[in-house]
Structure formats: structure tokens, C-alpha cells
């Protein structure tokens, strides 16, 4: 039989435990709500920007859908707006593709001096139209969009990939965009691009 003061002590311990459990449960609930809200708000800014981008090599080309000659022709047409001039340059870039992968080929075309010069006027016009600076979106990211997605960057996406370029390098920009849903949509129609490129270009 519990004495009155023992009974009061046990009662206080039980009540105290229930209050502690209730507070911990509420803290966990609030923490989950904050985390979900934060993730949602980041995605809501621009749903096309991957929250956790895939930087693994895109494994392109993927025979028999895309052959090496097609990849090189399309790189010339997309980044340089012309056909390759001869078989030697095609073979050179096929060598780059085989040794450095699709993203290595992309970086080579993005940083080629002729391509940096070719896109300069349109890049500066893009910055002016959007009232942004080259610090916000780099020229190399602009060219990456032109070559891989065949369009100018949207401001949020361009700024995102410019930050990736600064933190992880241009090769991870090429990998990330190469694994994006938008680039995969281009791949789904790539056989048509390959046929058009073959009809247009001698090499």
C-alpha cells in the first residue's frame, strides 16, 4: 500500500513523462513540417532545375540509336553552327568521345576559342535583355545550353548551372544537363536529327 506522499511522487513522475513525450513529438512534427516546406519552396522556384542533379556520365552515345559520327556532326551543328570540315577533325572528336566521354566532348566544344567568339554577341545580348551580368550566368553555361538544349538559358536555370560550374567544374554542368529530362526529350528524337545531319554534312 502506497503512502500518500509516495502516491503524489509517482503521480508527478507519470505526468512529467507524458509532458516530455508530448513535447518531443511536437518538436519532431514541427521539424518535419519545416523540412518539407523548405524542399517544396526550393522546387517551386523552378521545377526544371534538379534538386539533386545527376553528375554521373550520361553514357552517350548509345548504339545503335546514336553512332559516333552522328554525335560529332550534331556537336558541330549545335555548338559551331556548321558542318565539320573534313574527316580528320571528325576522327579527332571521335577520339575525344571515346577517351573522355560525351561530357568531355561537350566541354571541348563549349570552350573552343572559335565557339566562345561565335556566341559572344548573342550572349551579351542575352545578358542585356535579362538585365543580368556575366557573373550571374557565365558564357560557357550559355553555350552549354545552346549546344545541349538548343536554346538560351532561362535565368534561374542559367544561374543554377553557373554556380555548379564554379563549385564542381564545367564537366559537371555537361553531365548534369546531359542527364536532364529536357536533354532526354531531345534524345528521344535524336534519330531524326542524325538523319538530317547526315543529309546536310559531307563528313
Q: From first to last of the 203 residues of the chain, give the pLDDT tens digit.
A: 545 444 444 444 444 444 444 444 444 444 444 333 332 334 445 555 655 788 888 766 655 568 999 999 999 999 999 999 999 999 999 999 999 999 999 999 999 999 999 999 999 999 999 999 999 999 999 999 999 999 999 999 999 999 999 999 999 999 999 999 999 999 999 999 999 999 999 99
In a domain, 156, yes or no: yes
Instruction: Note whether residue 27 is domain-resident.
Output: no
> 79 by DSSP, 3-state: which?
helix
The confidence score (pLDDT) of residue 57 equals 80
Domain housing 105:
68-200
Q: What are the phi and psi torsion angles at 133 (to 5°)?
A: -110, 170
Considering the domain boundaries, does residue 92 fall inside one? yes
Give 73's contacts (C-beta < 8 A, 6+ positions apart): 83, 84, 90, 194, 197, 198, 201, 203
Asked if residue 54 belongs to a domain, the reply is no
The kind and range of the H/E element at 202 are none
Does 183 map to a domain?
Answer: yes
CATH no. for residue 160? 1.10.3130
> Cell triple for residue 191?
534519330
Is 38 within a domain? no
Total domains present in the chain: 1
Query: pTM for this one?
Result: 0.74
What residue has cell string 579527332?
92
Amino acid at each position: 500500500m502506497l503512502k500518500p506522499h509516495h502516491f503524489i511522487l509517482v503521480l508527478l513522475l507519470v505526468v512529467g513523462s507524458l509532458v516530455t513525450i508530448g513535447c518531443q513529438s511536437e518538436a519532431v512534427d514541427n521539424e518535419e513540417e519545416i523540412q518539407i516546406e523548405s524542399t517544396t519552396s526550393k522546387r517551386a522556384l523552378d521545377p526544371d532545375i534538379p534538386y539533386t542533379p545527376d553528375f554521373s556520365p550520361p553514357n552517350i552515345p548509345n548504339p545503335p540509336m546514336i553512332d559516333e559520327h552522328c554525335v560529332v556532326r550534331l556537336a558541330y551543328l549545335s555548338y559551331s553552327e556548321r558542318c565539320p570540315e573534313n574527316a580528320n577533325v571528325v576522327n579527332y572528336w571521335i577520339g575525344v568521345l571515346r577517351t573522355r566521354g560525351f561530357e568531355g566532348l561537350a566541354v571541348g566544344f563549349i570552350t573552343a576559342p572559335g565557339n566562345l567568339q561565335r556566341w559572344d554577341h548573342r550572349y551579351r545580348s542575352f545578358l542585356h535583355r535579362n538585365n543580368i551580368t556575366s557573373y550571374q550566368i557565365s558564357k560557357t553555361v550559355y553555350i552549354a545550353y545552346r549546344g545541349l538544349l538548343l536554346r538560351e538559358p532561362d535565368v534561374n536555370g542559367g544561374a543554377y548551372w553557373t554556380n555548379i560550374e564554379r563549385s564542381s567544374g564545367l564537366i559537371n554542368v555537361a553531365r548534369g544537363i546531359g542527364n536532364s529530362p529536357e536533354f532526354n526529350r531531345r534524345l528521344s528524337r535524336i534519330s531524326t536529327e542524325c538523319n538530317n545531319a547526315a543529309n546536310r554534312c559531307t563528313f
